[in-house]
Structure formats: structure tokens, C-alpha cells
Chain A
């Protein structure tokens, strides 16, 4: 009897606590969204908390007019698409040989790359390196620095290792090369893995901030993260720019534009998230297998 009552109390506590945690993840999003689509007067008087008040899209209109958000969005998209493609290609090239049991020296080469997870030179030598390569102000610097994530390579390697050997051996009876084996047999069998790793790289590229800040000085090449960050830092400047035109000023607040900018940046992630969530869970679990 007592155990039964215990169980019920415990279950109730769990439900309440977990619901609170979930709501805490939702409220900030709704708050931002509501601010971005509420009327200026409602925002200033603090009426907006979770739900929009006096629906208005002025914030978005002004945002697109006064800030380089559209260009930054295009830059981020370009950086991410090319970046993810390069990431995947080179990660496969790294992971596949390390997953072959007959690859001589794989133990040493695995250590060679894993060691860099333990110790790194930090941001300063990277900066000097890129400067001496003349890659400052070019996206090449960002693509190169983030080309391979050793963590993702280890996930891929352990996945390739678990593909039954018979499959590749059967395919290789008539002597096909390693490259063909990789492209014709291994990769088609790893679609779920590739989706997962693509997701990880996509998030990393889209959210890339430090390297852009360090290497890209040309405002025309700024990405979403840098532009939105500047908007948050200098929100007063933003409202000044909007207030130049007294007609807009009436319907505008700095907070509104800022929230709109943040939301525009969030859109791709929010769109992709429902489809990619299960790959995310899979990927995290794959990563927990010690490689």
C-alpha cells in the first residue's frame, strides 16, 4: 500500500517537474516571437509577455529596411551549405580508412587525431596562421578551421566499423578498389549516419560566431550571428536608426527589431528541427559508444 502511494507521489512530482522544464524551454521563444510581432506601444508599456498584443509586423518591415539582415542571411546560408559539404567529404575521408581493420598504422593514426581533442593551440595561433596564409576576410579561413570535427569522425568511424564485413567482402570479390567500395557500398548503407553528421555540422556552421568575428572584417561578408549580435549589443543605436524617420518611430521599438532579427536567424533551425530531431538523438547515442 505504502509503496503504491509512494509511486503515485513520485510520478506526480516527475510530471510537474518535467513539464516545468519543458515550459521553461518554450517561454523565451514565445516571448521573443510575441515581442517581434506586437505593436510598439504594447512593447514599451510592457504588456507583452508570452502572447502578442496588438498584432503588427512593423518590426520586420523596419528590420529588413534598416539592417543588412537579408544579405547576412544569404551569407550564412552560403557559408553553411559549402561548409557542410566540405565537412562531410573530409570527415568521410578521415573516418573510412580508420574503420578498416587491415589499415596498417590505424592505431597510431587514430591517436594522432584524437590527441588534438585533448590539447589545442587556442584561438591566437589560428589567427596568426590564417593571417600568414592571407585568408583574412575570406570564408576560406572559416571553412579550413572548422573542416573536420574529430568528435564527428570518431562517431563515423565506429559506425563504419559496425557495418558487417561480409557485405564489403562480397562486393570486393571481383576486386573493386577502396574508393568504389566506399561510394557504392559503405555510404549507401550509412544514410542515417550521414543525416546525423550533416545535422551536427549544419548547426555548428549556422551558429558559427567566433571565427567569423576573428577572420571576417568586411561588413559585407558578415553572417547572421555577427549582425544579430551587433544588434543586441547596440540596441539603442538600432532604435536611433529607426527613429530617424518619425513616421516609423511611432510604430517601432528597438526591442521589437531586435526580437525580429533573432527570430529570422532562428527560422532555419526551427524549420529543420522537427524532421531532424530523431537523427539528433541517434547521433548523440552513437557518440556515447567509445570509439
Chain B
């Protein structure tokens, strides 16, 4: 009798403390966050439908996707699409072009904002500095449509194009810069640098302001020349910014901006200028070959992922990392 009572009491206290804990947990943690959850709910729904669902949609790379059957109803085909992809030399070429153009853009374009920032930092006259910065940041705001128009107007063979006008004046004929693969690649990379350097220049300029100016004074007193100062003070001072920017751009190695490539490419240079995103657009979206192109898309994501992970690993060695 007594023991039964005791046991009963025990379980009662147990339930009691449990509900108290729950209540306390609720009032301490959830209650205050509840309005925030309500606020954030649309965001979760948005990211699930418009960011995560499309990633899941790449599952059609393993299927024979037919619009009638839907993603779920289409038949599984295993790695058929990948086998098709790898046995098609044109697909491999497209993948190669993507990596090649991106890496080339990064390797050539990466030092430009650093050099620009160091040089702008050297300018003492305020009005000159601001007007130079104003002009250098401007291209970032222009759409690729506009930049492509400028490229055609400068390097093209039409009546208005500046460069060929002068070449014709001296030699009597025009040079098809935009229709020759080698010069096209150079123009492509150059246009990218022209448009995007301003953005990173801002980053490096702000990193430069954090360097202690007394370091330069003492270095100058020790007789260090300008180039030695840059090598031993300026560059080490902005190394962490350099590394972060480099990782970010390596991480985007597969994310070739569609606008840039689509607007600059032309039939004559298709051999070097057709990249994953334009291929997917043409063969996937316009011609409706969904499964093959989503296999390519998946492969692209995979390569991008490897690039991000490796570059982050390298960055960790320098004591920097993105996550």
C-alpha cells in the first residue's frame, strides 16, 4: 500500500518536472523566438522551393525525362546520360572550354585590382583620386549587353569600329578580331577584367587603409625603396584579403556568367566559346534535351564543389577559411 503510493508519487513528480522543464524551455527559448520564426517561415519555404528543389531536380540526370511523365514518373536509366555525355567529344570540349576560360580569366584578371588599388593608394591629390575611382567603378554598373555593344564597336569590322578603322588606314585591310579564336579569347578575358576589376579594387583599397603608416616611415628610414616597401609591407598587409578574394573566385570557377559569354560569342569562335551554361541553354532549354544537359549540369556542380573545397583547404593552411 505504502510502496504503491510512493511509486505513484514518484511518477507524478516525474511528469511534473518534465512538464515544468518543457514550459521553462518554451518560455526561455521558443517564446521569444516565436515571432522571429513566423517572420522567417516564408524564407524557409522560399529557399526550399526555389533553391533546394531545383538541386533535387537534377535527379533527372539519371532518368529519361519526359514532360508528360513528370520528374517522378519518368523511367530510371542509371548512368546512361553520363555515358552519352562522356562519349560525346563535343560535350567534353564544352566542359574543357568552361574551365579554361574561367581559369584564364582568374589568373590574368586576379592581380589587376590589387595593382590598381596599390597605385590608387599612392595618389595624394584628393580630386584626382576620387575622379579616377568614379570612372573605374562605373563599368560594374553596365549590363553585359552594353559592354558587348562596346566590344563590337571597338573590335568589330563594321563602319563605326575604331580599331579596324585605324588598321585599315595604315594597312588597307581589316583584321577579324572577333572571329579569330585567339584574339577572341583575349578580348573575352579583357572585357571581363574591364567590367569587374572595380569591385575588388574597392575591397583591396579598404584593406590598404588598415596598414599602419608608421611601418612605411620606419622602412623608409632604414633605406627601403618603394618596391621593397610594397613587397615587405603592403602585400603582407593585405594577404588575408587577397586569399579570401581568390578563394571566392576559384569557388566560382564553374559559374561562368551567362550574360558575358552569350553576348560575346559568335558562330566563328564557337569551338572555343561554347561553354556549359550556353550549351545547357541551347540544347536543354531551347531544344528540350533535358536529361543529357542536366547530367552536364550535375557534373558542373560537382567540379565546382571540388574547386570550392580544395581552395578552402588551401586557404586553411594560410589561416584563412570561408567556413
Residues of chain A touching chain B, judged by Cβ–Cβ distance below 8 Å, are: 2-3, 6-7, 10-11, 13-15, 17-19, 21-26, 28-29, 31-32, 35, 43-46, 48-49, 90, 93-94, 96-98, 100, 102-105, 109, 112-114, 116, 118-129, 144-145, 147-148, 177-179, 203, 206-207, 209-210, 214, 224-225, 228-229, 232, 235, 253-256, 258-259, 262, 265-266, 269, 273-274, 277, 280-281, 284-285, 288, 290
On chain A, the residues within 8 Å of B305 by CB distance are 118-119
The 6 A-B residue pairs with the shortest CB-CB distance in the complex, in nearest-first order: A121-B54, A125-B57, A125-B54, A207-B143, A255-B160, A46-B165
Residue in A179, A209, A258 with the greatest tally of chain B CB atoms within 10 Å: A209
**B46-80 CB contacts (< 8 Å) to partner A:** 46-47, 49-58, 60, 71
Within the complex, which residue of B44, B146, B226 is in contact with A109, where a contact is CB–CB below 8 Å?
B44
A128-B290, A145-B50, A206-B143 known; A273-B58 Cβ under 8 A: no
Report Cα–Cα, A17/B264, bound state, in Å. Answer: 27
B280 near A: Cβ within 8 Å?
Answer: yes
A3-B225, A14-B123, A265-B143 known; A32-B54 Cβ under 8 A: no
Within the complex, which residue of A22, A43, A45, A105 is in contact with B132, where a contact is CB–CB below 8 Å?
A22
30 contacts between A and B (CB under 8 A): A17-B119, A25-B136, A25-B138, A31-B154, A31-B162, A32-B153, A35-B160, A46-B161, A93-B43, A97-B36, A103-B33, A116-B52, A118-B308, A125-B58, A125-B297, A129-B49, A145-B50, A210-B258, A210-B259, A224-B145, A228-B145, A232-B152, A255-B153, A266-B146, A269-B141, A274-B134, A277-B137, A280-B137, A281-B202, A284-B202
- Asked if A284 and B152 sit within 8 Å, CB to CB, the answer is no
On chain B, the residues within 8 Å of A125 by CB distance are 53-55, 57-58, 294, 297
- Asked if B135 and A26 sit within 8 Å, CB to CB, the answer is yes
On chain B, the residues within 8 Å of A26 by CB distance are 135
Main secondary structure of the interface of A (DSSP, over half): helix
Within the complex, which residue of A25, A93, A120 is in contact with B135, where a contact is CB–CB below 8 Å?
A25
On chain A, the residues within 8 Å of B285 by CB distance are 123-124, 127, 214
Within the complex, which residue of A23, A179, A274 is in contact with B35, where a contact is CB–CB below 8 Å?
A179
Q: Quick one: closest A residue to B266, CB to CB?
A: A233
- Asked if B43 and A113 sit within 8 Å, CB to CB, the answer is yes
A119-B305, A179-B35 known; A19-B132 Cβ under 8 A: yes
- Asked if B149 and A11 sit within 8 Å, CB to CB, the answer is no
On chain A, the residues within 8 Å of B138 by CB distance are 25, 29, 273
| B147-179 interface bits toward A, Cβ cutoff 8 Å, 1 = contact, 0 = none | 011101110001111100100100000000000
- Asked if B116 and A21 sit within 8 Å, CB to CB, the answer is yes
Report Cα–Cα, A145/B46, bound state, in Å. Answer: 10
| B267-292 interface bits toward A, Cβ cutoff 8 Å, 1 = contact, 0 = none | 00000000001001100110000100
